[in-house]
Amino acid sequence: MTKDNLIHARTCVYNVNYHFVWSVKYRHKLLNERIEKRLKEICSEIAKDKEFIIREFEVGEQDHVHVFVSAHPKIAPSYIVKMLKGITARKLFIEFPELKRKCWKGHLWNSSFYIETIGSISEEVIRQYIQKQQKGG
């Protein structure tokens, strides 16, 4: 763990990171360059407003999104995804009406998502560290 990764908050010091992936409903290739650019802007606004940090954001094959996020432990990962998917869908439908016509039943995103926690230390290193702690007494 390096000090560069640590974020100091009022009640804790943390390094909490997530990798999220979600796709366009039915994997339709709708996220062209114009929409991708606006999608990134909207996600940056959401992150600032909801107080988490987007470290990386990319659209893949015009049909899915990868996001690397750092967040305070009090913010549930499901809340982060809910905000990103919900707000972006609403705003993109307003700004790009052609999207709504191409999306069956008006859903931009698939209802599921992938999540993975990301850390700077491997699980094995953490296990060894805990196992080597001295017993109090």
114 is catalytic: no
Sign of CA dihedral 76, 81, 84, 85: negative
Choose, from 26, 79, 114, 129, the residue flagged as catalytic: 129
- As a whole number of angstroms, the distance between CA 71 and CA 51 comes to 7
Helices (H) and strands (E) in the chain, counts: 4, 6
End-to-end CA, the chain: 29
Residue 31: how many CB atoms within 10 A of its CB? Answer: 23
List active site positions: 129
